[in-house]
């Protein structure tokens, strides 16, 4: 009786153990079959477009009108440069312009009123001489026909008539030239000199305006490289800063994770230092990285033979990213 009872208990226990074993196998297989791949979480950096403001002319820093960290608008004056040579050059070009303008006016107008009066009197005098010579020649011509004067006398009077006629023609030509102004070529040359002087004046005006270093865009000033009194060379960067409304996020991922990201994809970027604030953004570019120094993500998980790619993510609304600190950490999660 006791053996029978013990045998039944043993069989019952053995059956239960099989059921439990089958249940564990089923749960294991089910768990492995439903296992999901974990989301890709990547850390990156907050960036802004950088701009550098340089001078086109050399000179000493006369005044600095901004401070580091200050926000300025496009066209605001940042620095004033002192260039004494520009003022001296301006006086020179003004003098050259006045001289060229007078030269052109003189070439266009021709002789003065006094010169015109003198030439008129000269023409009148030669005309009287010509008329007298012509009358004398006509008288001698009649006398010569009647053989009352020798041929020699007639030839002398004829020569005087020809000389008076030549002088009169020359005087009339001088008067016409003086009245009509200088030669066309001389007027054109004088006009060219005047335009050259105008160009030099404009050049000096441009150089004078370049003394005022202005902001090319709405920006926040990051660095002032020189102090008042120091020499600024042409092309040297005087101010550097970040362009307002140009915030973006930069992440680095390995090629084995590219399948989770596509251009144009909308993502949520978390800002850890700002209490986990979320900025709705969009992936705008995916490009390969050629240097390890460009990696933006801390401790990127990749194998040695894999290529790295930079993901540029831009906020959908720039106003939501206005006050983000550059180079601080940003986190993005891809499903």
Residues contacting residue 241 through CB under 8 Å, at least 6 positions apart = 50, 51, 53, 219, 220, 221, 222, 223
Domain boundary among 242, 258, 289: 242
pLDDT at 10: 47
**Mean pLDDT of successive 10-residue segments in the chain (335 residues)?**
46 60 60 57 90 90 92 93 82 82 73 72 81 80 75 80 84 74 70 83 83 92 92 91 92 85 90 90 89 55 75 91 88 80
Looking at the fold, whether 117 and 200 belong to one and the same domain comes out as yes
Looking at the fold, whether 200 and 276 belong to one and the same domain comes out as no
The CATH number of the domain holding residue 260 is 2.40.30.170
Q: Compute the Cα dihedral for 315, 319, 320, 326 and give only its sign.
A: positive
| Residue range(s) defining the domain that contains residue 19 | 1-35
Q: Could you tell me where the DSSP H helices lie in 64-150? A: 84-109, 113-145
Considering the entire predicted model, what is its pTM? 0.58
Looking at the fold, whether 133 and 186 belong to one and the same domain comes out as yes
Report yes or no on 211 lying in a domain.
no
The CATH number of the domain holding residue 70 is 2.40.50.100
pLDDT at 217: 92
Please tell me the distance from the alpha carbon of residue 196 to that of residue 273, in angstroms, as a whole number. 62
Looking at the fold, whether 109 and 168 belong to one and the same domain comes out as yes
pLDDT at 6: 42
Please tell me the distance from the alpha carbon of residue 49 to that of residue 33, in angstroms, as a whole number. 47
CA 23 from chain centre, in angstroms, equals 76
Report yes or no on 255 lying in a domain.
yes
pLDDT at 247: 92
Report yes or no on 212 lying in a domain.
no
State in Å, rounded, how far the first CA of the chain is from the last one: 65
Q: Among 223, 241, 219, 243, which Cα is nearest to 73's?
A: 219
Please tell me the distance from the alpha carbon of residue 280 to that of residue 97, in angstroms, as a whole number. 61
Looking at the fold, whether 93 and 202 belong to one and the same domain comes out as yes
Cα angle 125, 128, 132 (rounded to 5 degrees) comes to 145
Number of domains in the chain: 4
Looking at the fold, whether 57 and 100 belong to one and the same domain comes out as no
């Amino acid at each position: 009786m006791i053996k029978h009872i013990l045998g039944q208990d043993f069989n019952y226990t053995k059956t239960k153990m099989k059921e439990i074993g089958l249940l564990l196998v089923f749960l294991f297989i089910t768990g492995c079959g439903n296992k999901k791949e974990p989301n890709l979480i990547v850390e990156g950096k907050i960036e802004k477009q950088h701009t550098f403001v340089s001078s086109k002319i050399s000179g000493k820093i006369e005044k600095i009108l901004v401070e580091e960290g200050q926000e300025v608008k496009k066209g605001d004056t940042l620095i004033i440069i002192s260039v004494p040579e520009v003022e001296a050059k301006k006086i020179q070009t003004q003098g050259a312009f006045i001289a060229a303008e007078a030269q052109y006016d003189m070439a266009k107008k021709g002789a003065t009123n006094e010169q015109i009066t003198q030439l008129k009197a000269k023409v009148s005098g030669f005309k009287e001489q010509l008329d007298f010579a012509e009358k004398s020649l006509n008288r001698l011509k009649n006398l010569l026909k009647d053989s009352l004067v020798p041929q020699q006398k007639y030839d002398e009077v004829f020569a005087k008539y020809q000389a008076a006629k030549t002088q009169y023609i020359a005087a009339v030509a001088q008067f016409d030239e003086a009245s009509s102004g200088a030669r066309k070529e001389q007027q054109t040359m004088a006009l060219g000199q005047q335009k050259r002087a105008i160009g030099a004046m404009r050049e000096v005006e441009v150089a004078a305006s370049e003394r005022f270093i202005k902001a090319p865009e709405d920006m926040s000033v990051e660095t002032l490289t020189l102090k008042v009194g120091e020499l600024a060379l042409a092309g040297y960067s005087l101010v550097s800063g970040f362009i307002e409304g140009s915030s973006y996020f930069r992440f680095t991922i390995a090629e084995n994770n590219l399948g989770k990201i596509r251009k144009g994809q909308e993502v949520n970027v978390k800002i850890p230092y700002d209490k986990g604030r979320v900025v709705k953004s969009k992936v705008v570019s995916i490009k390969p990285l050629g240097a390890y120094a460009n990696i933006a993500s801390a401790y990127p998980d990749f194998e040695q033979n894999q290529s790295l790619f930079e993901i540029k993510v831009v906020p959908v609304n720039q106003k939501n990213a206005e006050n983000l600190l550059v180079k601080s950490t940003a986190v993005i999660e891809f499903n």
